[in-house]
Amino acid sequence: MIISTVHLISAAVMTGVIWFTQIVHYPLFARIPSEVSPAHAEENQRRTSYVVGLPMLLEGLTAVALFASPPDGVSRWLPFAGGVLLAVVLLSTVALQVPRHAELATPLGQDEIYSVVKRLVVSNWIRTIGWSTRTVIAAVIVTQAI
């Protein structure tokens, strides 16, 4: 029960972070003046890792634990589906978001920044929907484990 609860909490934390990122944080990147955009992007990456590092680590470890040994009463497909979604989220992070952040860390004109931010926001819906769905699955796992 502890593993499934930690899993739910970490998934919920990441869901909150990703919704804030999607609605507030990423769109505001387009308002950063081009002269300071590279420094802002690098500092943003550094500080964001402090916020998401532990919850993502806990979420990953508990996802593996739940898949390897689901609690009694938990449908086996739930940890599997949650794991697939986590893989999609992580793949999206590496393949879509990280390259956009790298672009923002280079000198760009304001129009180029706007274009990169637009692609960042659009592609980030994959993670927003993925983490939101994972939190629902994690809540069902906890409910079934009770």
pLDDT digits (tens, 9 = 90+) for 114-128: 999 999 999 999 999
Where helices occur in the chain by DSSP H, the ranges are 2-20, 26-29, 37-68, 77-92, 98-104, 110-145
pLDDT digits (tens, 9 = 90+) for 1-52: 899 999 999 999 999 999 999 999 999 999 999 999 999 999 999 999 999 9
The domain spans of the chain are 2-145
Q: How many residues does the chain have?
A: 146
Do 52 and 17 contact (CB within 8 A), yes or no?
Answer: yes
Phi, psi of 11 (to 5 degrees): -65, -40
Distance CA 69, CA 136 (A): 19
